[in-house]
Amino acid sequence: MDIISHLTRTVSPAVLGDDSSPAKKNLLEQFYAIFAARLADKDTHSRFANENIAQDDQGFYDRVWTDGSQRDTISRELAAAHNVDSTAARGLVAMAAPLAYHEIKSLAGTTPVPQFLTDNQANYQHHIPAWASVVVPAGMLAAAPAGERISDTTSMAPLQREEEEKGSFMKALLPIIGLIILGALAWALLRGCQDNPEPVATPAVTQEQGVDSDNQTAVASAVEPASLRIATGEQANTLYACRMNVGDETLKTTVMNAMNTEFGDDSNKCKADVDDNFAMDMPAATQLAAILPIIKNVPNASMFIKGDEIVVNAPDAATLEQLVADIQAAAPDMNVVAEGPLNLQSEIDSSLAATDAAMIGLGDSPNPRDVARALSLQVVNFEVDKAIIPDANKPFLDRAVKLMEQVPDMKLMIIGHTDKTADAAYNMKLSQERAQSMKDYMVSQGADPAKLMTKGMGETDPIADNSTEQGRFRNRRIEFTVYDETALNNEGANVATLSGGKAFDPDMNPLDSDNDDIMPDSDDRRAVPTPAPKSSLPAANNKLDPDLNPLDSNNDDLLPDSDDPSRGTKLDPKANTQ
């Protein structure tokens, strides 16, 4: 069996989707050989040998090649050799790496991956280009003996034939015999490899199958590991941000109980996406009681738990080093690492690859929630102070428009977020402009404007710290969620609030009389009749809220708020009272 051919049949369809470009297919074939050679190095493989690598692990490629210059070399040389854009090449290999790793591990079986790939290096060596000598272990470009085994159960020994008697008749038959033998060998090898292999990103057929009401076979698909991301505040013992992705209410309750015990009322900042796309267990859940007090005592720290790994960060190196050591001691079964420097291009490429994979898996009539989640995976790298959508993101918005046509009742909310580096009013305005820019583009491509709502959250809904470059990067984001008119989008950005069902948006319902709003509005002063404000929300909701976006600077508010010079102390003299 040819390892490269196997990866081409199983991984490439998941990476390329509907793109049948021969150039990209050939690029991936060459990358698989380079990737296999790299994994044959024991030191490289040991860095993640004990990890549970997700098939869309956006950082895995960076952990295989930790040297950024080597990653640049790979994408540049592959792009040049196959006449593919270098940015596209980076995205392709970043997406292919975790998928190919899963397949190689499956082929290796009980044999350690480095040993398996070393034993079978003759199987892929001839695909490795000369320039790759700087990114693969020494000696991987040298010739290797033929006839090595492909695994413990599949023989690759050369076919042995008895010497034929010489004669003119036999000489005439030799070419025909040779063709028959080659055909039989090819059939046997392909049969031994795998019958009708499934592309990696499609649901794999398992023993656990059911039949739905339409007598269609229901196939279980792979789930993402559950995760928890938290950030502490500027003061010790405070919680700044908290998000979790979990598979059921039981796990959510377990995590929330631990958060509430440690952070008290601050735990109401936690939001959970509860969906069966995520695992129902979290290895670190039982150790949160020991882990949380450590992170709580460090101001401006962050922690991300996913699978068996905990990634932490802190504003200075000494604090970070101590934080890693303390959490590792508290959770010895977990792999605790410090977050590496921000590699912006790699983050962008990986996010686009993950978005592409998620959208390929949606099918023709997807659940709107899954569409929103897929679109939220992408990094939209706006230029500083601008709201112009990068070209790299437009294909995903195009595909979303087509999906909305296929699912007529789909309505989406586009939510803009910023970090905390500028003035709060400016951040609110910029986040709204960016969300609106996304809507405007989708409408220009044929989307129904009535089915797209926008909202700017500014810096008010962080998911990470604002004290590190990595944290600020994660806070600058565009999120999609399913728009729910009855709940007024209580789920926030693709997640459900955990504060007794109360909406997290500070001004989503200013006439509810519960005084939960940050900006001055009608539930803490006498309400007056108002026309509907300028907003992207449907008119049925606009009439409820005179201050739906109090920082939008469009002077449509009747009540004093932060988009007038008085910052909420006086009635806006330019308000639209007609």
The per-residue pLDDT for range 284-309, each reduced to its tens digit, is 999 999 999 999 999 999 999 998 89
Examine the pLDDT at 541 and tell me if it is beyond 60.
no
Tell me if the domain spanning 344-505 has CATH number 3.30.1330.60.
yes
Least confident span in 48-62, 75-89, 91-105: 48-62
Q: Tell me what the mean pLDDT of segment 213-217 comes to.
A: 38
Distance between CA atoms of residues 347 and 379, nearest Å: 8
Between 487 and 455, the more confident residue is 455
Q: What local confidence, expressed as pLDDT, does residue 410 receive?
A: 94
pLDDT band at 547 (very low <50, low <70, confident <90, very high): very low
Examine the pLDDT at 166 and tell me if it is beyond 80.
no
Label residues 192-211 b or e (16+ Cβ within 10 Å = b).
ebeeeeebbbeeeeeeeeee
C-beta of residue 490 within 8 angstroms of C-beta of residue 484: yes
**CA nearest 505: which of 534, 481, 531, 529?**
481
Question: Positive or negative, the Cα torsion across 488, 493, 499, 505?
Answer: negative
Examine the pLDDT at 337 and tell me if it is beyond 80.
yes
Structure tokens at 243: 């998000």
Q: What local confidence, expressed as pLDDT, does residue 494 receive?
A: 36
Examine the pLDDT at 495 and tell me if it is beyond 60.
no
Question: What single-letter amino acid sits at 286?
Answer: T
Model confidence, pTM: 0.51
**CA nearest 199: which of 410, 426, 13?**
13
Between 522 and 86, the more confident residue is 86
Q: What local confidence, expressed as pLDDT, does residue 364 receive?
A: 78
Between 218 and 65, the more confident residue is 65
Q: Which CATH architecture has domain 227-338?
A: 3-Layer(aba) Sandwich (3.40)
Q: What local confidence, expressed as pLDDT, does residue 192 receive?
A: 47
C-beta of residue 352 within 8 angstroms of C-beta of residue 381: no
Q: Tell me what the mean pLDDT of segment 206-210 comes to.
A: 34
Q: Give the start-to-end residue ranges of the domains of the chain.
A: 3-134, 227-338, 344-505
Q: What local confidence, expressed as pLDDT, does residue 27 receive?
A: 94
Examine the pLDDT at 570 and tell me if it is beyond 80.
no
Examine the pLDDT at 80 and tell me if it is beyond 70.
yes
